Structure 1
Amino acid sequence: MTLPKTPSFRLDGKRALVAGASSGIGLACAVALAEAGADVTVAARRVEALEELVNEMSKAGMNAQAMPLDVADVTATQAAVATHGPFDILVNSAGLARHAPAVDTTEEDFDAVAGLNVKGAYFLTRAVARGLLDAGKPGTLINISSQMAKVGGIDRAVYAATKHAVEGFTKSMAIEWGKHGIRVNTICPTFIVTPLTRQTFDRPERRAWVEEKIKLGRIGEVEDIMGAVVFLASDASALVTGTALMIDGGWTAD
């Protein structure tokens, strides 16, 4: 009998681009990929935060470099990816939320959130895929979506709409690029403790709503995302594409 062998979770020799890496989930994903052996380019608008992150990762023995990037600027994003790529792995954690009741949504807020969460994500994913296609290389592209891509939420009509859109283009891209060995997936977290979510947790009624919805009884931490992103980036998920990995503590199980 020949026993099967577990595929490797290691990422040695792989180049990864993590957008939105200056804090929160993006930062955690960058660290996770680097721990698994990837050479990680961290990208965001906040240059000082990126440089601090690269310094800390380097001191920990990880391979990392900074690339200033505003994902909402499609032209600049495409140029940066073309110059510094091709990348074997993409993790796009750049995102924006401006929560308000649907009747109070402004056109400015709608355009800002959709411009980054949908348009920016779409063209960043396309830019990395184009580099892989031109190089004839396989790859794995991961967009950080949300549990709100599967449900609705209080004051989150615009945000939920953008994340539903991300799921749609992810499936279509996965179908188009599968024959080239390029996998496209999303990670859908529940509420994770980050600087962007503190406004929710500072409101007792909203915190109670969140905690009641999460069946495991706790709000998420960035560490809850780290294993998942390594799984989707590695050969351990070689047959996974066009899907959403739910990390929601059971929120969407209803």
Structure 2
Amino acid sequence: MRLQGKVALVTGSGQGIGRAIAVRLAQDGARVVVEDCSDNAAAEQTLAAVRQVGSSGCVIAGDVGDAQIDRRVIEQSVAAMGRVDILVNNAGIEKRAPFVEVTEADYDAVMGVNLRGAFFMTQAFVRHVRERGDGGVVVNVSSVHEELPFPHFASYAASKGGLKMLMRDLAIELAPLGIRVNNIAPGAVQTPINAALMAQPEKLKALLANIPLKRLGTPEDVANAAAFLASDEAAYVTGTTLFVDGGLLWNYAEQ
């Protein structure tokens, strides 16, 4: 129970990778704040899964793209749980379009959730940790596309590239506060965001040919990495990206 006594806040944890991380941290003893864009059935299902493995928590809803809501989410989390020790910035969206057809609305939506949300949620978390004075952990769920080009997803790639540099910068700036900051960069993972891909056998076959381990990742693969980075076993790890991609990044060739 390496996270016993800790409280973790996981954004976008109503499904997919976020849910798997919430449950994995709970298995290690953390109490969990399940954050999602709305207090919906999916978020409640995640909370039920957290309780099923013997932990406890609460659901707090809010659009992470709104800085004022980010501050409220941290405040409500502290009010409900007493403190927050671990922040997992998992919430993320993508919009497919040729670069010349990307709309301002879609650009703003992607950057708002993926980068602005992580920025201001972390800021609110750091202010809380600074008041406590006993350190904390930030884990951002980034993507292989913080390094790997992603044609027709320019805003997504830009947001993840920005998240890489934000992580590196904050790892240095926040170290005196005892706050570690790292990214996890998943490759192709079996989640709802990839449902269309998994339903197209030829495209899936081509993708698997680029993955040395010859399989898609699972949400649990990513969650295991998050549990490590959140724990004291990673006490000397900050300012880095842990790729969870089956070897995809260094073997990828655009078809």
TM-score, normalization: structure 1? Answer: 0.92
Residue aligning to 2:250: 253
SS at match of 2:174: helix
Is the 2:23–2:49 Cα contact (8 Å) retained in structure 1?
no
Q: How far, CA to CA, are the matches of 1:228 and 1:181 in structure 2?
A: 20
Structure 2 alignment gaps of length 5 or more: none
> Residue in 1 aligned with 2:192?
195
TM-superposition CA deviations, 1:120-162 (whole Å, max 9, x none): 1111111111110111121110010000101112322221111
C-alpha distance after superposition, 1:33-58 (max 9, x if no partner): 00000011111023122122222332
CA pair 231-56 structure 1, distance change in 2 beyond 3 A: closer
Ranges of 4+ aligned residues in structure 1 off by more than 3 Å? 203-206
In structure 2, which of residues 45, 62, 67 is the aligned counterpart of residue 69 of structure 1? 62
| 1:72–1:116 contact (8 Å) kept in structure 2 | yes
C-alpha distance in 2 between matches for 1:32 and 1:227: 7
RMSD of aligned residue pairs (Cα, Å): 1.5
Match of 1:171 in 2: 168
- CA deviation digits over 1:164-201, x for unaligned, max 9? 00001111111101111100011000011111111223
Aligned twin of 2:97: 100
CA shift for structure 1 position 109: 1.0
Identify unmatched segments of 5+ residues in structure 1.
1-8
Larger deviation: 51-60 or 98-107? Answer: 51-60
CA contact (8 A) 1:22 1:46 kept: no
| Cα distance in 1 for residues equivalent to 2:178 and 2:49 | 33
Select the residue among 147, 151, 158 that pairs with 2:148.
151
Tell me the alpha carbon deviations over residues 208-236 of structure 1, each in whole angstroms, 9 at most, x when there is no partner.
34212211111111111121111000000
1:24-43 pair list within 5 angstroms: 24-43=16-35
Q: List per-residue Cα deviations over 1:50-74 (Å, max 9, x = no partner).
A: 1222223323322221111211121
How far did 1:76 drift?
A: 1.4
Deviation at 1:204, TM superposition (A): 4.2
Q: Provide the C-alpha distance between the structure 1 equivalents of 2:102 and 2:111, rounded to a whole number of angstroms.
A: 13
Aligned residue number for residue 42 of structure 2: 49
Q: SS of the residue aligned with 1:196?
A: helix
Distance in 2 between the 1:100 and 1:200 partners? 16
Output the amino acid matched with 2:147.
K
Question: 1:66-92 CA distances to partner (integer Å, 9 max, x unpaired)?
Answer: 111211121011122024233110111
Q: Name the aligned partner's letter for residue 59 of structure 1.
A: Q
User: Which piece of structure 1 moves more, 59-68 or 104-113?
Assistant: 59-68
* 2-structure distance, mates of 1:35, 1:125: 24
CA distance in 2, matches of 1:194, 1:104: 26
Q: Tell me which residue corresponds to 2:8.
A: 16
Letter of the 1:73 counterpart: D
Equivalent residue for 1:6? none
| Counterpart secondary structure, 1:90 | strand
- Aligned equivalents of 1:208, 1:164: Cα separation in 2: 27
The answer to whether the aligner puts 1:138 opposite 2:135 as a matched pair is yes
